[in-house]
Amino acid sequence: MSLTRTLSFSSPIQICRIMRPDDANIVGNVHGGTILKMIEEAGGIISTRHCNTQSGDRCVAALARVERTDFLHPMLIGEVAHVSAELTYTSRHSVEVQVNVMAENILTGSKKVTNKATLWYVPFSLQNVDKIIEVPQIEYASPEQEEEGKKRYEAQKMERLETKERNGEAIIPVISPEEYTVGFSQSSLIHLVGPSDCTLHGFVHGGVTMKLMDEVAGIVAARHCKTNIVTASVDAINFHRKIKKGCVVTVSGRMTFTSNKSMEIEVFVDADPLVETAKGKYRAVSAFFTYISLDKDGKPLPVPTLKLETQEEKKRFEEGKVRYLQTKAKRQAEQERQQ
């Protein structure tokens, strides 16, 4: 039996929700973690639905990776979020989903695109949580479209392998740190995983994890600047291992790079099983968040320069600088294409 299924790329799914006061960050706009959670929900729905269009084991698609996500415009309380998702590529065991977020002012009718994201999902059997299900393949509009998708797949696969090499690193508390150093702003959050955090498998929703990571990154940024801050972008969230219900997760963040108007924060998520203690603590997720500092009127402020004290901090700073310059060059190239 052929698993090929023709999809209409002009018919994405869409979920809508009005933004309420409890969705706000300290600035008064919608919390970046709330938007990331909605993005993941839309991606999870369309990828799980697609992977169950064939006969055999029923499955749930688990989030494996989020590519760079830019926060193009702030979303305001009272606006309606329209989150649309569509499948753009399938490999044998993974699904690529493109998600766009639009904010609608229901009083004026005006709309603006606030976020664009690319997510990768892997389907796991409901009968056996360690069994990865083969993905029904989609039919592409052209061979070129399929080839471009394959290139994206290979690129993210390579980046995930490179990220795993960093997973032995830990964030160590610093006693009486100097202001504007890495140790001064680094922060951690501890959370016990409950049923409301989990999927049908009993593992944590990717969106729940991303919201916790955004909260910690925001604390690091606020401690460094001592001003209002907002999420500007997220650079590749990699989900290395699943987190089970009943685990205690420690979400830790540290400053890695500052430019004149932005700061990069590295965030780790470590999971510690309370019951199955023999398995030990493990690194589950890692990512880089970029924040900007704002004045009381919401205008960008200069970011205090990060003081570097060790060779490792200097190395991470230079790596962050490379990512910053690469992103800046890509943004400029895209702007030139649109002109």
Closest CA to 234 of 249, 250, 247, 253: 253
Contact predicate 227/296, CB 8 Å: no
Helices 206-225 and 32-51, axial angle in degrees (round to 10)? 160
The H helix count followed by the E strand count for the chain is 5, 14
Nearest Cα residue to 281 out of 267, 269, 292, 297:
269
Q: How far apart are the first and last CA of the chain?
A: 48
Spatial separation of the C-alpha atoms in residues 226 and 228, rounded to whole Å: 7
Query: Catalytic residue numbers?
Result: 25, 214
CB 81 within 8 A of CB 101: yes
Secondary structure (DSSP) of 252-271: EEEEEEE-SS-EEEEEEEEE
The residues, any chain, with a CB within 8 Å of residue 254's CB and separated by 6 or more, are 171, 182, 185, 186, 220, 265, 266
